Amino acid sequence: MRLGGWWRLWIGLSALWVALAVSVAFFVVERPTPEAVAKSVGLWCDLDMPVPPELAGQVLEVPAQLARLADLDGDANAAARKPIVQAVRLTVEALGKV
């Protein structure tokens, strides 16, 4: 079977397109590293410092916990607020030790 000029051009351009996509995926796109995750979590939470990777999950939960605390106002909800306040306090103390 003989390939004409257009088919060769099409196959060549397709091979170049695949090579370009593979090179972008493996060499240009930044892979998440613990340092990059720590920096992005710190920036997302408006902290002026990177967050250690082991605390990133806890720090990301803090805004939701603070929103729940705002919803649980009054003396009747004191028991429900206590574990949330303790979780936030432990996260802040862990960040302070870093």
Tokens matching residue 10: 């099409």
**Residue 80 has what pLDDT?**
85
CA 23 vs. chain centroid, Å, equals: 24
> Mind listing the pLDDT tens digit of every residue in the chain (98 residues)?
566 788 888 999 999 999 999 888 888 767 777 777 777 777 777 777 777 778 878 888 888 888 888 888 777 788 888 898 899 898 888 877 76
Q: What is the rounded distance in angstroms from the CA atom of residue 29 to the CA atom of residue 19?
A: 15
pLDDT at 1: 55
C-beta of residue 52 within 8 angstroms of C-beta of residue 59: no
Q: What does the pLDDT read at residue 42?
A: 75
Task: List, in sequence order, the alpha helices (H) in 1-98.
Answer: 5-23, 34-44, 56-71, 78-96
The pLDDT value recorded for residue 19 is 93
Which residues fall within 8 angstroms of residue 90, CB to CB, at 6 or more apart?
Answer: 58
What pLDDT is stored for residue 13 in this prediction? 94
